[in-house]
């Protein structure tokens, strides 16, 4: 079969890597892809938001299955565009992708269906938001309602920070139209855990857990980023937590979306906070996380095509989803200065060290090929992933692997997975 993957980041490289392992697949295309993906797929110069071109390409090449990796096209309705032309596509339709596309919608859904989450208020007027914040308890969380590349969340420790945040989001439009509506949320204390799932509209199958590091600097300092590294499984995601979430969060979300006439097929990413009052939903995403995908997908035993087709066909209940009994850690190699400003175009050296290596992977994000050389082309450049018998072993292996790659302005956090020490000590 022929498969088209839509996207250009490390997540899409991880998906392409898994698709390439499937015996069912003869040819992979990726639009637009990146330098790493081009080594296993044919990259085509079509943007993720060019729906008409994507549909035309899929029809012309007789694509059997299209996998949408990115949030923007999902929220924009790319799945609807493909389905309208009778094409098989994996991902939620526009009316279901709103689960990620609008934080206000998802909060209202959780409130209506008693899905555990933080207390909140929603505002379309900056003046009303400011009045509310005058008498609020701090710290408090401000969230731009729409998509903001994972960066539209501000944790404000004081009233002054919160008022500046309202200006930044709603008036200065730092996150564009995503800030037309603002969600003000209770600050929750606890451990963050990411849980990805496959959904076919009725059945939900939970993948192994992971934990992401969003902040740019060591010690969870600095600005929010798209993610500086991740590890899987989370030692804090216990059997007790799993049982609670399965009863009150996972299936409840799928059923709530169906009840609202927004049947969800695709990936639901549950961002959880493990509070003293039990697990609560921080956020939903409607696609694989990045870089969570880079540690979860390599641990999956199943043929990814089997699972995706079961989702599309409404037969996910027939799949026994299995993961390896090991661990994985991903350390993001970024361009120094990310997520604010950084230089591009530096040659990346050492990628050949990973060829033919089992349990070591390099997933490309911001890269491009020029005259046969791999060059940096973004803020997050590469995700170096390694497996190990346990989390400590995987972390050691991942950091050893980062030494094999060099480029000017290379930057990474040195404490990815540091929380593991609390469990092991």
171 in the same domain as 226: no
Number of domains comprising the chain: 4
3-class secondary-structure state, position 257: helix
The CATH number of the domain where 123 resides is what? 3.30.1490.20
Could you say which of 150, 167, 186 is where a domain stops? 186
206 and 179 within one domain: no
Instruction: Give the pLDDT of the chain (425 residues) as one tens digit per residue.
Output: 999 999 999 999 999 999 999 999 999 999 999 999 999 999 999 999 999 999 999 999 999 999 999 999 999 999 999 999 999 999 999 999 999 999 999 999 999 999 999 999 999 999 999 999 998 999 999 999 988 776 788 999 999 999 999 999 999 999 999 899 999 999 999 999 999 999 999 999 999 999 999 999 999 999 889 899 999 999 999 999 999 999 999 999 999 999 999 999 999 999 999 999 999 999 999 999 999 999 999 999 999 999 999 999 999 999 999 999 999 999 999 999 999 999 999 999 999 999 888 899 999 999 999 999 999 999 999 999 999 999 999 999 999 999 999 999 999 999 999 877 666 54
Looking at the fold, whether 201 and 301 belong to one and the same domain comes out as: yes
| C-alpha span between 295 and 284 (Å, rounded) | 19
User: Which structure tokens are listed for 340?
Assistant: 């604010």
The verdict on residue 95 lying in a domain is no
Which helix (H) or strand (E) is 23 found in, with range?
none
Task: Please count the CA atoms within 13 angstroms of the CA of 48 that sit on its side-chain side.
Answer: 18
The token pair at 180 is 């037309």
Is residue 169 included in any domain, yes or no?
yes
What is d(CA 259, CA 257) in angstroms, rounded to the nearest whole number? 5
Helix, strand, coil % over all residues of the chain, rounded to 5: 35, 30, 35
Residue 365 within a domain: yes
CA distance 145 to 59: 35
Domain co-membership, 233 together with 277: yes
> Looking at the structure, do residues 77 and 126 belong to the same domain, yes or no?
no
- Tell me the pairing of strands 265-275 and 229-232: unpaired
Strands 410-411 and 380-388 come out as: unpaired
Residue that terminates a domain, selected from 90, 110, 141:
90
The reply to whether 27 and 51 lie within a common domain is: yes
Q: Are 338 and 225 contacting, i.e. CB atoms less than 8 angstroms apart?
A: yes
Give domain status of residue 101, yes or no: no
Range of the domain at 196: 191-318
Residue 99 lies in a domain: no
Do 165 and 264 lie in one domain? The reply is no
Cα torsion angle, 299, 303, 305, 307, sign: negative
- CA-closest candidate to residue 72, choices 176, 153, 173, 165: 176
**Which DSSP string do the residues of 261-321 spell out, in sequence order?**
T---EEEEEEEEEEETTEEEEEEEESS--TTTHHHHGGGB-S-HHHHHHHHHHT-GGG---
Same domain, 142 and 253: no
Task: For residue 235, give the DSSP letter.
Answer: T
Domain for residue 361, yes or no? yes
Report the CATH number that the domain containing residue 407 is assigned in CATH: 3.90.600.10
Q: Is 406 among the domain residues?
A: yes
The total of other beta-carbon atoms located within 10 Å of residue 321's CB is 17
- Whether 262 and 229 map to the same domain: the answer is yes
Residue 326 burial (CB count, 10 A): 17
> What single-letter DSSP state applies at residue 158?
S
Domain end point (choices 45, 70, 90): 90
Look up the CATH number of the domain holding residue 250. 3.30.470.20
């Amino acid at each position: 079969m022929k498969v088209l993957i839509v996207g250009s980041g490390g997540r899409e490289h991880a998906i392409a890597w898994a698709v390439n392992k499937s015996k069912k697949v003869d040819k992979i295309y990726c639009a637009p892809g990146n330098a790493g993906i081009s080594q296993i797929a044919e990259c085509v110069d079509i943007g993720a938001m060019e729906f008409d071109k994507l549909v035309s390409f899929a029809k012309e090449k007789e694509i059997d299955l299209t996998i949408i990796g990115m949030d923007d096209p999902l929220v924009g309705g790319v799945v609807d565009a493909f389905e309208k032309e009778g094409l098989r596509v994996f991902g939620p339709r526009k009316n279901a992708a709103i689960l990620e596309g609008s934080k206000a919608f998802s909060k209202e859904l959780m409130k209506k269906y008693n899905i555990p989450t933080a207390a909140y208020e929603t505002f379309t007027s900056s003046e009303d938001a400011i009045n509310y914040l005058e008498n609020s308890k701090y710290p408090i969380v401000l969230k731009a309602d729409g998509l903001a590349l994972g960066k539209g969340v501000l944790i404000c420790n004081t009233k002054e920070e919160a008022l500046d945040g309202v200006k930044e989001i709603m008036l200065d439009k730092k996150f564009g139209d995503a800030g037309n509506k603002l969600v003000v949320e209770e600050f929750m204390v606890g451990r963050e855990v990411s849980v990805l799932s496959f959904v076919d509209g009725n059945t939900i199958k939970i993948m192994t857990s992971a934990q992401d590091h969003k902040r740019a600097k060591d010690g969870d300092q600095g600005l929010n980023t798209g993610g500086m590294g991740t590890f899987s499984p989370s030692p804090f995601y216990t059997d007790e937590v799993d049982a609670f979430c399965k009863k009150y969060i996972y299936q409840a979300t799928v059923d709530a979306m169906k009840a609202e006439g927004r049947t969800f097929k695709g990936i639901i990413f549950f961002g959880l906070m493990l509070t003293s009052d039990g697990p609560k939903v921080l956020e939903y995403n409607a696609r694989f996380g990045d870089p969570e995908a880079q540690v979860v997908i390599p641990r999956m035993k199943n043929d990814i095509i089997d699972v995706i087709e079961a989702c599309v066909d409404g037969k996910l209940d027939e799949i026994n989803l299995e993961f390896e009994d090991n661990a994985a850690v991903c350390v993001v190699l970024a361009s120094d200065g990310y997520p604010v400003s950084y230089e591009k175009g530096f040659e990346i050296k050492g990628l050949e060290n990973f060829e033919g290596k089992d349990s070591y992977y390099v997933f490309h994000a911001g890269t491009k090929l020029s005259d046969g050389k791999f060059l940096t082309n973004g803020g997050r450049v590469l995700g170096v992933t390694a497996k190990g018998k346990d989390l400590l072993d995987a972390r050691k292996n991942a950091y050893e692997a980062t030494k094999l790659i060099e480029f000017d302005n290379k930057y990474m956090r040195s404490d990815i997975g540091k929380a593991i020490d609390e469990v092991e000590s």
